[in-house]
Amino acid sequence: MINSIITFLVHWITNSISKIGYPAIFVLMFLESALVPIPSEVTMPFAGFLAAKGFFNFWLVILTGSLANLGGSLAAYALGFWGQAKLVKKLVNNFGKYLLIDYGEIEKAERWFRKRGELIAFTSRLLPVVRTFISLPAGFSQMNVLRFSVYSFFGSLIWSTVLAYLGLVLGENWAVLEVYFRKFQLVILLFLSGLVFIYVRHKLKKIRSKKSS
């Protein structure tokens, strides 16, 4: 049953992009960031593959995906901002199953946001699953919308670039990426955590050096 749904979804995504072009990429990436379970690991690699074939401009594919992700993220942010945590969680708990939205993933995203602060709005964009839900706790906490937009856009820009480029390079084997990214998301998380640690340590050293001088 699950395999049939996945097969149908992949066929629908690729067929939509092939027939409609950039607007399909935008809508699919927008919906993915607006809590609808449409995997960017299918959308962007396939678009990158078509760019390699000459059907799309590679850089326009990336820009389309990134702006769409930002738009969807702002929609989810607004839901969290205006709906507030209690109401949104109640809606997800009652109706989330119809959109395959996991209540537990929202709880996880909220815990991550509380522990790691606003920078997670950027780093989470490079992770499967969590990237979809992180906008809600950002809205719950009423994070500055401009800062949220900047973090979300640049995180989405990196994610879209990586996926589209891999689709460009892999060609007709682009479909292996969806499984790959979900399997190794922990490795990606550890890598990002290391980058954040290095950045924070560098900042602390600069602060200490200023105090001592």
Sign (positive/negative) of CA torsion 28, 34, 35, 40?
positive
Q: Domain containing 20: what range?
A: 2-212
Q: Say whether pTM exceeds 0.85.
A: no
Report yes or no: 151 and 124 within 8 Å, Cβ to Cβ.
no
Sign (positive/negative) of CA torsion 19, 35, 140, 154?
negative
Phi, psi of 173, deg, nearest 5: -95, 15
Number of structural domains the chain divides into: 1
C-alpha to C-alpha distances, 199 to 143, 195, 212, nearest whole angstrom: 21, 6, 20
Q: Would you write out the chain's pLDDT as a tens digit for each of its 213 residues?
A: 445 555 666 778 888 898 999 999 999 999 988 877 788 888 888 899 889 888 899 999 999 999 999 999 999 898 888 876 666 666 666 555 555 566 566 666 667 677 766 777 787 777 766 777 788 888 888 888 999 999 999 999 999 998 898 888 876 665 555 555 554 444 444 544 555 555 556 555 655 665 565
Q: Which residue has the tokens 């379970």?
A: 37
Q: Which residue has the tokens 């499984």?
A: 179
